[in-house]
Amino acid sequence: MNKVITKIVALVALALVGSTTASASGIEGYRIAAGDVLSISVFGEPELSMDRVRVPTNGVLSYPLIGNISVHQATANELESGIARRLDGGYLRDPQVTVTILEYRPFFVHGGVFQGGQQPYAEGMTVEKAIAIAGGLTEDGLDDQVTLRRESGEEIANVSLKATVLPGDILRIPVREKIEPLPGTPGGAPVAEKPKLYLYFTGQVRSPGSYEYREGMSVRQALALAGGMTGRGSKRKVTITREPVEIEQDVDVLRGVDLSEKVKPGDVIDVGAKLF
């Protein structure tokens, strides 16, 4: 019965997400990145408007008249000002540019949920809503020990269910030890179910997201899981954000990692872009 209820809650949550359109000012200070869907309009100039465009992995859009523009890590207001400045004088006089974020890039949920993986984002997302969108908790899922990892590498353990989830965040839902009798011994010793381990990819890779960890993999082999680097990816700008061995330690950020370096479970691998 609990499974039925959680699935009904998940369906309702999905319906709410599907009907929500993000606004340019929805998340204060929000910075655009690959996967976001934008609308760019210039008042009175329909030929200079882009109704619906998804930001590619390199963060560069081809815009009428002014050519390529980089939108990665720009706010909607910054992008409006940048486009208006490049159109002003040469093409238009005092252009009025409006940038709207129609869809935010997805977030990820893994562990003790029914439908783990990439999930659609909507404004006002909390840990509780994120779990519902992921199908709800499994019977062994624990919602009081959730770990939240930000795109910046910041990690928050035992995060509140009311905590805010942002686009690109990764939620890990732990599972309790599964008690099963050993073969031929009813009521025997508990056996812990071995959880799957994951790697996470961001930046200049062809298919950003999460992939199952395989023991002994190098950075080069791990990148192959994400489709390899894009044409703008730099082998010299590979950064790994790694979980600490001890709880008291800070997250370890390794920059300029060699492609032969071995990866570890939970690593977040970011590939930077070439200068030219």
Q: Which CATH number fits the domain that encloses residue 211?
A: 3.10.560.10
pLDDT(11) > 80: no
Same domain? For 11 and 122 the reply is yes
Average pLDDT of the chain is 85
Same domain? For 164 and 206 the reply is no
How do residues 77-111 score in pLDDT, each as one tens digit? 999 999 999 999 777 999 999 999 999 999 999 99
Residue 28 lies in a domain: no
Same domain? For 247 and 259 the reply is yes
- Domain housing 82: 37-103
Residue 220 lies in a domain: yes
Residue 136 lies in a domain: yes
Q: What pTM was computed for the model?
A: 0.56
Same domain? For 161 and 255 the reply is no
The arithmetic mean of pLDDT across residues 244-271, rounded, is 86
Single out the residue in 103, 138, 156 at which a domain terminates.
103
Same domain? For 117 and 243 the reply is no
Residue 264 lies in a domain: yes
Same domain? For 15 and 145 the reply is yes
Placement of tokens 């690959």 in the chain: 34
Residue 181 lies in a domain: no
Tally of residues, the chain: 276
User: If you write DSSP's letter for every residue of 225-269 in order, what string do you get?
Assistant: HTT-B-TTEEEEEEEEEE--SSTTSPPEEE-S--TTSBP-TT-EE
Residue 157 lies in a domain: yes
Same domain? For 207 and 267 the reply is yes
pLDDT(175) > 70: yes
Residues 6+ away with beta carbon under 8 Å from 53 = 37, 38, 39, 40, 61
The radius of gyration computed from the CA coordinates of the chain, to the nearest angstrom, equals: 22
Same domain? For 269 and 204 the reply is yes
Single out the residue in 173, 188, 213 at which a domain terminates.
173
Residue 186 lies in a domain: no
Single out the residue in 80, 103, 126 at which a domain terminates.
103
% of the chain exceeding 70 in pLDDT: 83
Which of 23-32, 87-96, 121-130, 254-263 bottoms out in mean pLDDT, i.e. has the lowest?
23-32
Same domain? For 151 and 251 the reply is no
Q: What is the CATH number of the domain that holds 90?
A: 3.30.1950.10
Same domain? For 147 and 259 the reply is no
Domain count, the chain: 3
Same domain? For 96 and 109 the reply is no
Separation of alpha carbons 73 and 94, rounded Å: 25
Residue 116 lies in a domain: yes
Same domain? For 252 and 145 the reply is no
